[in-house]
């Protein structure tokens, strides 16, 4: 498995295992621990993506229960988590509306809960989950510096930030943000044109891609544009000897020079292995633009 260097302390596997739907997989601690071992030892996927709110604030704790069965795995894995969104939840029902919170106190308390839930003493990468129109970047920077100085977080980034929002927060920090986790897929191509990937290349940082399979929409495609895109993906799957169109969708992201790190959000071993195997599929530039044109519904100008 290819590895990318984010900082002197943090290296990620190129493919990342995402735990957004972990609570839906219905895996007990031992089965989840075995899935973690499968990812790490058989597929080379050592990076795991979380957020405090996943599974209505339950997924981090489920992961921690599994990790507690084999704590030696921790030294060879990288844990990503996010904070900054507050849900209206049975678990946290002390507010009346879903909202963003990027105050220093919330960031630090969220990290403390994540450490307790995951049963670890450090987070490899902390992300601000969404841009907050009320964010005070100086206050976020204070939280980040404190968390880094205490060794509770090794590196920091953002998620779903536009370039100006990324630059704004960066300007307050004494160290660089190391990634931006973005929605990127053959069906969601905004990051290619809104400057997000250009900024990642300028900063020499690798972006993470959430929903790299477009939320599974193409597998049940019904409208004309999606059907045409699916057809092109099927043709390219045959041309590249891919097992399925999902491998082509991953390979399309991997082909981009910004070094995109796709997040595989499945608890199914076959689908995880298929995602990891996409690293072996090499598209030509013409094949890449074949998908680009199908996604945009027109030829390049």
Kindly state the average pLDDT of the residues 107-115. Answer: 97
- pLDDT at residue 272 tops 80: yes
| Domain presence at residue 227 | no
| Domain presence at residue 243 | no
pLDDT of residue 289: 95
Degrees (nearest 5) of the Cα angle 210, 70, 122?
55
Distance (Å, whole) CA 186 – CA 189: 6
| Domain presence at residue 72 | yes
pLDDT of residue 92: 57
Q: Please report how many Cα atoms fall inside a 13 Å half-sphere around the Cα of residue 101, on the Cβ side.
A: 17
Local confidence band at 91 (pLDDT 50, 70, 90 cut-offs): low
Cα 91 to chain centroid distance, Å, stands at 24
Residues 71/101, Cβ–Cβ less than 8 Å: no
Count the Cβ atoms, other than its own, within 10 Å of residue 255.
16
Classify strands 78-83 and 47-49 as parallel, antiparallel or unpaired. parallel
Distance (Å, whole) CA 129 – CA 84: 6
Local confidence band at 199 (pLDDT 50, 70, 90 cut-offs): very high
The counts of H helices and E strands in the chain are 12, 12
pLDDT of residue 225: 79
Into how many domains does the chain fold?
A: 1
Structure tokens of 247? Answer: 């491998």
250 is annotated as an active-site residue: no
Cα 69 to chain centroid distance, Å, stands at 25
The predicted model scores a pTM of 0.94
pLDDT of residue 96: 75
Classify strands 99-100 and 123-128 as parallel, antiparallel or unpaired. unpaired
The mean pLDDT value of the chain amounts to 94
Residues 165/158, Cβ–Cβ less than 8 Å: yes
Phi, psi of 4 (to 5 degrees): -120, 135
Beta-ladder partners of 3: 13
Residue 81's nearest CA partner among 102, 107, 99, 101 is 107
| Domain presence at residue 301 | no
Q: Please report how many Cα atoms fall inside a 13 Å half-sphere around the Cα of residue 140, on the Cβ side.
A: 29
Cα 193 to chain centroid distance, Å, stands at 20
| Domain presence at residue 258 | no
* Range(s) of the domain holding residue 21: 3-178
Residues 78/124, Cβ–Cβ less than 8 Å: yes
Which uninterrupted H or E stretch holds 3? strand 3-5
| Domain presence at residue 233 | no
- pLDDT at residue 20 tops 60: yes
Active-site annotation holder among 54, 57, 100, 172:
54
Structure tokens of 128? Answer: 């601000």
pLDDT of residue 45: 98
- pLDDT at residue 222 tops 90: no
| Domain presence at residue 173 | yes
* CATH code for the domain in which residue 143 is found: 3.20.20.100
Residues 6+ apart with CB under 8 A from 94: none
User: pLDDT digit string (tens) for 48-82?
Assistant: 999 999 999 999 999 999 999 999 999 999 999 99
pLDDT of residue 94: 65
Classify strands 3-5 and 11-13 as parallel, antiparallel or unpaired. antiparallel
Residues 6+ apart with CB under 8 A from 231: none
| Domain presence at residue 281 | no
């Amino acid at each position: 498995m290819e590895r990318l260097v984010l900082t002197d302390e943090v290296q990620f596997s190129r493919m990342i295992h995402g735990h957004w739907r972990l609570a839906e997989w219905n895996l007990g601690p031992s089965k989840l621990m075995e899935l973690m071992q499968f990812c790490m030892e058989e597929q080379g996927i050592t990076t795991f993506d979380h957020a405090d709110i996943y599974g209505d604030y339950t997924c981090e704790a489920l992961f921690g229960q599994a990790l507690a069965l084999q704590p030696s795995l921790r030294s060879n894995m990288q844990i990503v988590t996010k904070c900054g969104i507050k849900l209206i939840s049975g678990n946290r029902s002390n507010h009346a509306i879903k909202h963003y919170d990027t105050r220093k106190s919330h960031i630090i308390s969220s990290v403390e809960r994540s450490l307790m839930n995951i049963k670890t003493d450090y987070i490899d990468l902390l992300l601000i989950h969404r841009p907050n129109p009320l964010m005070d970047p100086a206050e976020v920077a204070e939280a980040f510096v404190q968390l880094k100085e205490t060794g509770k977080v090794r590196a920091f980034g953002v998620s779903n930030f536009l370039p100006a929002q990324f630059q704004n927060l960066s300007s307050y920090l004494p160290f660089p943000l190391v990634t931006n986790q973005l929605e990127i897929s053959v069906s969601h191509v905004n990051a290619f044109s809104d400057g997000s990937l250009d900024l990642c290349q300028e900063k020499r940082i690798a972006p993470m891609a959430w929903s790299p399979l477009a939320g599974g929409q193409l597998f049940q495609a019904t409208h004309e544009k999606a059907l045409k895109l699916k057809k092109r993906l099927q043709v390219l799957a045959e041309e590249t000897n891919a097992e399925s169109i999902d491998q082509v969708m991953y390979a399309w992201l991997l082909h981009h020079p910004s070094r995109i790190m796709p997040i595989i959000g499945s608890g199914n071993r076959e689908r995880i292995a298929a995602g990891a195997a996409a690293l072996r599929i090499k598209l030509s530039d013409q094949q890449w633009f074949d998908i680009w044109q199908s996604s945009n519904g027109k030829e390049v100008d």
